[in-house]
């Protein structure tokens, strides 16, 4: 976007002017976002978490954010600016900020950095991720149980490991409650184009799909499902008010649990650069409250599996798992390691797309 | 492919084409009068945000539509003042308007992210919507689609057979001569730009009230730019704009349909189709000597200094 540098600059200036008024030296926490906070998806949830921790910590911390920062050179400048303005802890919330964060971090050893969704750490750089796939699995279980045509539609943005992981987990979950179910994937090549998301959803409904979900940013897919009278499963946040009848549940993200821990650790002086990948157990991901259309047995089953995942008795990617061609990829009794999950690029059996 | 599926595809095509049609009609009028306004994207966004806010606050979709159009016209007034009265560079002013509109809409709509409204419902015209194949697509849509088609007919008639259409064209071809003939060049251009703004605002209202009834930043996702390309593609002819809007609408859903049917076509390739077609048209137009003059309004984008 052409306006990004402008917005980034204004926001950085705003951040600076607000920051310079502080007297009692609270911990200064900065956030760098890839999209506008009004995107209703990824960044929206990060910013919601920021507001929650700001509320909780009161005057012990002071937070600020810069939105719509393009990955690459732009982000390096923004991160450097924040560092130079005396921020103590900086969260960079997009995959493409990884190298810029590391580069700036070398120059500002006294500042602590936390990068989301990457895989590198340094002396003063930690990284954090959410096991969204665990919530996807539970959401998939619900979807599978509710499908009577045995066809589920999935509107997806880009075929990168994180999205593929979600599709696979969702499909495995759906198959756990409905062995015959197929998941049809439509790629739209954008994170945020409500109209296109809606068209993709409509085109899937035309093909006999009766439950829809998505890995894109807006609730347009939920609206499409509501309008056409089929079920849907949300993502990022509880989207039930967009589809009171259609929205079964959602795979939701609660970044505040990570932000709370990290900020507390810095306040206590116990912060260490770690790579964390939190999920259901830590409360970073969860499923939203169920629609009343979901029968009791499904809710019970989902909750049972949720407890099993939390207790470590059940893993989402637990063998036997077959790929699309029917080859055995994970043997019975084995499961995919975190390293394999991070690089996951094949689809499980039952996925069309 | 069965009949129901074809009907559905046509239905989706008309729906997808409607915002493009609205914006392109407005941009075409403004360009026909000689003013190139690249601020379409910004005007759509402001229209979409204001329409949603009005509809949400007053619980009235109709009010939302009216406010959307007014908001679009209002921001285009800024463009008109800077580009026409202060005689600035139109391209730069238009780009600035897009940036301004994007920011303003985000600011206005910030409180309304995540809110939902009851969107427009389909109004099936009696009997007509039962015509096989084209019935649902043309007569089973919501009011905004009908409004788009009505405005198309109006613009078509105006440009083809009214005095007003002739004046707009004269001003766009040669403002000096139009002035010499006694026409108020600036007045005509102001009106054309405001009309364009209102149309872009309507397109925004269509997006945030009917197509995806919600407000999210950047909801237009580049449709303003596609519409500008569409005007060139249609070589400033009204009837071609309608065809082009449907064609572009179809192109933008084609890859979704093909994927669903299991055809293995790279979706990025199909997604760029509208733009690729526009480039081809541009190359074609420019490569024939003098052909440019046959299509584009001759004074398009050129500043006009009214004689003292």
A244 & A343 share domain: yes
User: Which one of A278, A312, A328 terminates a domain?
Assistant: A278
Please report the pLDDT score of residue A40 as a whole number. Answer: 67
Give the rounded distance of the alpha carbon of A35 from its chain centre: 14
Which has more pLDDT, B262 or B129?
B129
How far is B211 from B222, CA to CA, in rounded Å? Answer: 15
Q: What CA dihedral angle connects B266, B268, B274 and B279, to 10 degrees? A: -100
Is A301 domain-assigned?
A: yes
Query: pLDDT tens-digit profile of B94-143?
Result: 999 999 999 999 999 988 887 888 888 888 888 888 888 888 888 889 99
Helices (H), chain B: 3-32, 40-58, 61-80, 90-109, 135-139, 143-161, 163-173, 175-180, 185-206, 223-233, 238-260, 267-271, 273-287, 291-295
What CATH number does the domain containing A112 carry? 3.40.50.2300
Which residue numbers of B have CB closer than 8 Å to A's CBs?
A: 5, 8, 12, 16, 19, 95, 98-99, 102-103, 106, 109-110, 113-114, 116, 119, 207, 211-219, 221-223, 252-253, 256-257, 259-262, 267-268, 271
Q: CB distance A196–B256 less than 8 Å? A: yes
Residues A195 and A325 in one domain: yes
> Which pLDDT belongs to residue B290?
52
Residue A2: per-residue pLDDT: 47
- Is residue A271 a part of any domain in this protein? yes
> Which residues, including other chains, have CB under 8 Å from residue A152's CB and lie 6 or more apart?
A143, A144, A170, A174, A181, A182, A183, A184, A209, A210, A211, A212, A213
| HSE-up of residue B118 (Cα within 13 Å, Cβ side) | 7
Q: Which residues contact A83 (CB under 8 A, 6 or more apart)?
A: A90, A104, A107, A108, A111
Blockwise average pLDDT, block size 10, chain A, 353 residues: 52 50 75 82 90 94 91 91 95 92 95 91 93 96 96 92 93 95 90 87 90 91 93 92 93 93 94 92 94 95 96 91 92 89 90 82
Residues 201-230 of A with CB under 8 A from B: 202-204, 206-207, 217-220, 223, 227
Q: Are residues A268 and A208 in the same domain?
A: no
For residues A161 and A192, membership in a common domain is answered with yes
- Kindly identify which residue of chain B lies nearest to residue A224, measuring between CA atoms: B212
Q: Within this chain, do residues A324 and A343 fall inside the same structural domain, yes or no? A: yes
A19, part of any domain = no
Which residue among A38, A184, A187 places its CB closest to the CB of B216?
Answer: A38
* CB < 8 Å to A9, chain B: none
Q: Examine residue A102 and state whether it is found in any structural domain, yes or no.
A: yes
- Which residues sit opposite A277 in a β-bridge? A129
Q: What's the confidence (pLDDT) of residue A210?
A: 94
Q: What is the per-residue pLDDT for A20? A: 45
pLDDT at B191 over 50: yes
- What's the gap in Å between the CA of B308 and the closest CA on chain A? 38
> Containing domain of residue A105, as a range?
24-131+255-278
Which structure tokens are listed for B132?
């096989």
Q: Is A242 on the interface with B (CB under 8 A)?
A: yes
Size of interface A-B (CB pairs under 8 A): 110
Q: What sign for the dihedral angle of Cα A174, A176, A180, A185?
A: positive
pLDDT at B160 over 50: yes
Tell me, yes or no, whether A40 and A71 share the same domain: yes
Mean pLDDT confidence for B157-163: 95
In a domain, A11, yes or no: no
Give the nearest chain A residue to B264 (CA atoms): A353
Residue contact B260–A241, C-beta within 8 A: no
Q: Which residues of B touch A70 (CB under 8 A)?
A: none
Residues of A in contact with B99 (CB under 8 A): 2-3, 6
All structural domains of chain B, each given as residue ranges with its CATH number in brackets, are 3-113+139-293 (1.10.3470)
The number of domains in chain A is: 2
The DSSP secondary-structure symbol of B121 reads P
- Which residues sit opposite A30 in a β-bridge? A64, A90
Whether residue A7 is contained in a domain is answered as: no
Q: Are residues A259 and A339 in the same domain?
A: no
Is the pLDDT reported for residue B255 higher than 90?
Answer: no
Residues A32, A68, single domain; the answer is: yes
Judged by CB atoms closer than 8 Å, whether chains meet at B217 and A203 is answered as: no
Neighbours of B5 (CB within 10 A): 13
Q: Which residue of B has its CA nearest to A217?
A: B216
Q: What is the pLDDT of residue A21?
A: 44
Asked whether the beta carbons of residue A199 and residue B221 sit closer than 8 angstroms, the reply is no
* Same domain, residue pair A227 and A97: no
Q: Is residue A17 part of a domain?
A: no
In sequence order, the 6+-apart residues with CB closer than 8 A to the CB of B301 are B34, B35, B36, B90, B91
CA gap B102, B106 in Å, rounded: 6
Q: pTM for this structure?
A: 0.81
Q: Is A186 on the interface with B (CB under 8 A)?
A: yes
The model's pLDDT over A34-86, given as tens digits with 9 standing for 90+, comes to 887 876 678 889 999 999 999 999 999 999 999 888 888 889 999 999 999 99
The shortest CB-CB distance from A206 to any of B5, B211, B215 is to B5
CB atoms within 10 A of CB B262: 10
Are both A137 and A126 inside the same structural domain? no
Q: Inform me whether the pLDDT recorded for B294 exceeds 60.
A: no
- Which of B19, B43, B20, B17 is closest to B193 using CA atoms? B43
Looking at the structure, do residues A90 and A210 belong to the same domain, yes or no? no
User: Model confidence over A176-224: pLDDT tens digits?
Assistant: 999 999 999 999 888 878 888 998 998 899 888 999 999 988 889 999 9
Nearest-CB residue to A40 (from B103, B114, B256): B114
SS3 B123: coil
User: Worst-scoring range by mean pLDDT, A93-107, B177-191, B263-277?
Assistant: B263-277
Distances (CA, A) of B289 to A117, A217, B284: 54, 47, 10
Is residue B172 within 8 A of residue B31, CB to CB? The reply is yes
Q: Which residues of A touch B252 (CB under 8 A)?
A: 196, 199
Q: A230 and A176: one domain?
A: yes
Helix/strand/coil for B43: helix
Is position A13 within any domain?
no
Q: Stretch B60-81: mean pLDDT, rounded?
A: 96
């Amino acid at each position: 976007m052409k306006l990004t540098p402008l917005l980034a600059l204004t926001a950085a200036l705003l951040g600076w002017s607000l920051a310079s008024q502080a007297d009692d030296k609270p911990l200064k926490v900065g956030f760098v976002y890839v999209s506008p906070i009004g995107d209703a998806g990824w960044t929206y949830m990060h910013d919601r978490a920021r507001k929650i921790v700001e509320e909780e910590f009161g005057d012990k911390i002071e937070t600020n954010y810069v939105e719509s920062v393009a990955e690459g050179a732009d982000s390096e400048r923004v991160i450097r600016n924040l560092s130079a303005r005396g921020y103590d802890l900086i969260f960079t919330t997009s995959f493409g900020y990884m190298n810029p964060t590391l580069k700036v971090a070398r120059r500002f050893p006294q500042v602590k950095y936390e990068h989301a969704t990457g895989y590198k750490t340094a002396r003063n750089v930690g990284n954090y991720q959410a096991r969204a796939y665990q919530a996807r699995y539970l959401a998939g279980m619900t979807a599978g149980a509710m499908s009577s045509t045995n066809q589920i539609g999935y509107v997806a943005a880009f075929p990168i490991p994180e999205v593929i992981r979600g599709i696979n987990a969702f499909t495995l979950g759906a198959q756990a409650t409905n062995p015959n179910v197929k998941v049809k994937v439509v790629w739209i090549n954008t994170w945020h184009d409500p109209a296109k998301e809606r068209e993709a959803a409509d085109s899937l409904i035309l093909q006999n799909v009766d439950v829809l979900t998505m890995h894109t940013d807006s609730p347009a897919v939920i609206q499409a499902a509501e309008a056409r009278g089929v079920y849907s499963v949300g993502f990022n946040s509880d989207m039930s008010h967009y589809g009171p009848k259609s929205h079964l549940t959602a795979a939701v993200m609660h970044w505040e649990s990570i932000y709370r821990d990290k900020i507390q650790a810095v306040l206590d002086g116990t912060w260490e650069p770690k790579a964390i990948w939190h999920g259901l157990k830590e409360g970073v991901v969860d499923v939203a409250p169920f629609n009343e259309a979901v029968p009791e047995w499904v809710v019970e089953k989902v909750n049972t599996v949720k407890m099993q995942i939390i207790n470590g008795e059940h893993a989402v990617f637990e063998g036997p798992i077959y790929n699309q061609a029917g080859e055995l990829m994970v043997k019975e009794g084995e499961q995919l390691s975190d390293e394999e999950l991070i690089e996951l690029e094949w689809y499980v059996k039952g996925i069309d797309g | 492919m069965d009949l129901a599926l074809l009907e559905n595809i046509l239905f989706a095509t008309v729906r997808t084409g409607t915002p493009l049609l609205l914006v392109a009609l407005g941009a075409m009028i403004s360009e026909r009068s000689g003013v190139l306004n690249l601020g379409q994207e910004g005007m759509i966004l402001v229209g979409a945000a204001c329409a949603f806010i009005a509809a949400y606050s007053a619980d009235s979709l109709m009010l939302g539509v009216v406010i959307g159009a007014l908001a679009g016209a209002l921001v285009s007034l800024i463009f008109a003042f800077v580009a026409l009265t202060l005689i600035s560079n139109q391209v730069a002013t238009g780009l600035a308007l897009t940036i301004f509109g994007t920011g303003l809409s985000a600011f206005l709509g910030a409180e309304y992210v995540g809110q939902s409204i009851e969107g427009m419902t389909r109004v099936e015209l009696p009997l007509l919507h039962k015509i096989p194949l084209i019935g649902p697509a043309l007569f089973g849509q919501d009011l905004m689609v009908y409004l788009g088609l009505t405005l198309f007919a109006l613009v078509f008639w105006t440009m083809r057979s009214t005095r007003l259409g002739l004046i707009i064209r004269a001003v766009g071809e040669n403002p000096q001569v139009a002035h010499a003939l006694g026409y108020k060049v600036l007045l005509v251009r102001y009106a054309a730009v405001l009309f364009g703004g209102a149309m872009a605002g309507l397109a925004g209202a269509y997006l945030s009230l009917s197509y995806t009834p919600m407000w999210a930043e950047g909801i237009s996702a580049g449709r303003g730019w596609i519409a500008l390309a569409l005007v060139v593609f249609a070589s400033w002819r009204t009837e071609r704009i309608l065809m082009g809007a449907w064609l572009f609408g179809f192109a933008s859903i084609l890859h979704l349909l093909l994927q669903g049917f299991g055809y293995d076509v790279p979706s990025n390739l199909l997604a760029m189709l509208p733009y690729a077609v526009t480039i081809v048209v541009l190359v074609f137009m420019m490569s024939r000597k003098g052909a440019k003059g046959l299509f584009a309004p001759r004074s398009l984008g050129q500043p006009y200094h009214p004689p003292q």
